[in-house]
A and B are shown apart, each in its own frame.
Chain A
Amino acid sequence: MGTNVYFSPKVRTEQNLYEDLIIEALRLYGQDVYYIPRETVTPDEILNEEYSKYASAYSVEMYIANTESFEGDGNLLSKFGLEIRDQATFVVARRRFQQLVTIDENSIREERPREGDLIYLPLSKSLFEIKFVEHEKPFYQLSNLPTYELQCELFEYSAEKFDTGVNAVDRFEHIYGPQSVIQITGGTYGFKPGDRIVQQLTGGVNITGKVANFVETRKALGPTLPRQANLYVTDIQVSNGSSRDFAVGGTVIDLTNVANTNWSITKVYGLNNDSNLYIPQEPLAQNEIFETKASDIIDFSESNPFGDPIVPPS
């Protein structure tokens, strides 16, 4: 026995037609999204996890399978604050994904969508992480598998770097990335998100960063009151590999606009300053509020009568 040879579903032309129809339907009813492949920065071979970055984004049409709304638990308040547990299922044609791979100038070299890659949906400005790639739906209808079903949920951000060149995607790092806020004085031109800056310290140490936001706090009011602004800086790196912040007193050099000079750093916002400027990307954080309140309560004049460990200065 065996299947009927006169009714074989494995006709190549029929398979192609079927796939063409699917692609046509996806282009009619789908959405243009950005597929953002994950790249490894630092693998942890002991704990089996990786620190990732996202350096490219590719526009491709996908169909959103959940038509009514996002799935998942939605917005909820947990002990860690607000969480959005939206889930979505995207459908992409295999052939279209292969085209992304085969274009020479694209750096993506994946044979299939991978778990951990991201999808940016411009419609809702949501960034989804692929949790699971279902490759067997529809289930071999013409003995082929024309689509991938990408089961996603909103991305949990943990200081990953975005440098895709797509502003809408790179904004995630500008808004939610670890930031420092420095007060700068004296310059003429402003900064725009994405500008690269550097501060040169003594000993040949350079601190570089990427501008996330520029907020002017005072216009120039003569030589004694020069222009003043708060500069939100992300992606801060030190040339000697250490972890430190910008320093008061130095000059900010705009690597993007060489004409933008004369900005000097007059303040680096710390724990004892305005709470909105200490961890600006975290509006629910109370680090600075606790510091201010407790400074009136804790008696720092007391010595260490019970031999508690000395907390080193940060």
Chain B
Amino acid sequence: MFGTHFYHEHIKRAVAVFGTLFNNIKVIKKDSTGKALSTIKVPLAYGPRQKFLARITDEKYLNDPKLAIRLPRMSFELISILYDQSTKLQKGLTRTISSGANSRSSVLYPVGYRIGIQLNVMAKNQDDALQILEQILPFFQPDYTVTVKELDGAFKTDMPFVLESVSMADDYEGDFNTRRAIIYTLEFETRVRFYGPVFDRSIIRQTETNFASSSPIPDYTQILTVSPANAGPDDNYTIVVQHIEPYPDSAVAVLTNADGNFTVGETVYGSISGTTGVIQSINGNTVTIIRLDGSFSQGEQLIGETSETTATISSVEHTIDAIIDTIPYEPRPDLEYDLRT
């Protein structure tokens, strides 16, 4: 049903961002006078990996000297993914990514998820582990926030990494053959927004709105038109506003075969169209009719309600007095919603 392929690498990017927070930690071995004897750049890796890759990468040559493991080292992995109820917005909202002259790229508002990440620190000595820990903990109070680009830089989002818990394991007890493992585990939570597919839509350049009070017949129609017609969203342009009544404002009818005299102010109606109006003026066989609720037809009878005069409309001309206004428009980028938390 969904079908459209898209992949924004949201989690993969979150992994890279998380990794870069801890990729420059060092452990320094000192002598008793405080002189640095050795500086270890602590290796960091995303823990899950294909087993064969680990073997052929780390043991490229089987004839190399063998050790159990090099320490200290750090690794991390994803441990949970939960829907983030607190970031829910109305359905169907879209955000514009980019606009061209005739179309704009949009995307549905993202769905927020909370991602749990576990960072593990393993060291041979407690002092090494504590050096690493102290280079991490002060920066999380309890969160550390970085601003990241989403959708190839279309949006910016603040991504908080919240330190949820710290635990440690030190298996120093037991028989002498059991390996002592010093492992610190730090659990973090961050928020990732999942965007849907990006789709292009044509730009709406004209709208037509009918306003009605009670009857199904609209009182008037409003037409908005962009001028110039090829203006883009980021250009300066004007919006032409037309208010159009549904019926003519007045009609000037030429009458023949009148069997009486119409009077000014008399209500008249057409025998076929049923249109009614009020005579505003009479000039010979020409009458001007206003307050129309429709249009008269050529050839129908015009009948006066009071004088009961009847005449044939030999020709009629309706007049529509449209109200035209223009609104200058300037782009307002500050009206964009800011999704940062």
- Give me the interface of A with B, judged by CB distance under 8 Å: 41-44, 47, 49, 51, 75, 77, 79-87, 115, 124-127, 131-132, 151, 153-159, 161, 168, 171-172, 175-178, 235-238, 241-243, 271, 278-279, 281-291, 293-299, 302, 305-306, 308-309, 311, 314
**Which of B37, B54, B71 has its CB near the most chain A CB atoms (within 10 A)?**
B37
- B88 contacts chain A at the CB level, 8 A cutoff: no
Please state if B125 and A271 are interface contacts (CB–CB under 8 Å).
Answer: no
Please state if A284 and B54 are interface contacts (CB–CB under 8 Å).
Answer: yes
Report A-chain residues with C-beta under 8 Å of the C-beta of B123. 158
Interchain CA distance A155-B71 in the complex, whole Å:
11
Report B-chain residues with C-beta under 8 Å of the C-beta of A242. 36
Please state if B26 and A243 are interface contacts (CB–CB under 8 Å).
Answer: yes
Interface size class of B (residues with CB under 8 A): 35 or more
Within B130-168, which residues are at the interface with A (CB < 8 Å)?
A: 138-139, 141, 143-149, 156, 158, 160
Report A-chain residues with C-beta under 8 Å of the C-beta of B35. 237, 241
- B313 contacts chain A at the CB level, 8 A cutoff: no
Contact residues of B: prevailing secondary structure: mixed
Please state if A161 and B13 are interface contacts (CB–CB under 8 Å).
Answer: no
Candidates B17, B41, B73, B176; contact of A178 at CB < 8 Å: B41
Report A-chain residues with C-beta under 8 Å of the C-beta of B75. 79-81
Interchain CA distance A98-B304 in the complex, whole Å:
140
Given contacts A49-B125, A84-B69, A282-B43, contact A153 B179 (CB under 8 A): yes
Report A-chain residues with C-beta under 8 Å of the C-beta of B43. 279, 282, 284-285, 287
Interchain CA distance A157-B124 in the complex, whole Å:
8
* A–B complex contacts, Cβ < 8 Å, 19 sampled: A42-B31, A75-B55, A77-B49, A79-B75, A82-B55, A84-B68, A132-B175, A153-B179, A154-B67, A156-B70, A159-B40, A176-B65, A177-B38, A178-B38, A290-B19, A290-B20, A294-B17, A305-B158, A308-B139
Looking at the assembled complex, report how far the CB atom of B225 sits from the nearest CB atom of chain A, in whole angstroms. 39
Within B25-80, which residues are at the interface with A (CB < 8 Å)?
A: 26-41, 43-49, 51, 54-55, 57-60, 63-73, 75, 77
Given contacts A49-B126, A287-B24, contact A309 B141 (CB under 8 A): yes
- B207 contacts chain A at the CB level, 8 A cutoff: no
Please state if A80 and B122 are interface contacts (CB–CB under 8 Å).
Answer: yes
Please state if B38 and A294 are interface contacts (CB–CB under 8 Å).
Answer: no
Report B-chain residues with C-beta under 8 Å of the C-beta of A125. 63-66
Please state if B69 and A156 are interface contacts (CB–CB under 8 Å).
Answer: yes
- Give me the interface of B with A, judged by CB distance under 8 Å: 13, 16-17, 19-20, 23-24, 26-41, 43-49, 51, 54-55, 57-60, 63-73, 75, 77, 120, 122-128, 138-139, 141, 143-149, 156, 158, 160, 175-177, 179
Please state if B58 and A81 are interface contacts (CB–CB under 8 Å).
Answer: yes
Please state if A49 and B127 are interface contacts (CB–CB under 8 Å).
Answer: yes
Contact residues of A: prevailing secondary structure: mixed
Report A-chain residues with C-beta under 8 Å of the C-beta of B125. 44, 47, 49, 51, 158
- Chain B minimum-CB-distance residue to A89: B177
Report A-chain residues with C-beta under 8 Å of the C-beta of B68. 83-86, 153-157
Looking at the assembled complex, report how far the CB atom of B329 sits from the nearest CB atom of chain A, in whole angstroms. 29
Please state if A155 and B67 are interface contacts (CB–CB under 8 Å).
Answer: yes
Please state if A290 and B44 are interface contacts (CB–CB under 8 Å).
Answer: yes
Please state if A299 and B156 are interface contacts (CB–CB under 8 Å).
Answer: yes
Please state if B41 and A176 are interface contacts (CB–CB under 8 Å).
Answer: no
Looking at the assembled complex, report how far the CB atom of B14 sits from the nearest CB atom of chain A, in whole angstroms. 9
Interchain CA distance A177-B49 in the complex, whole Å:
24
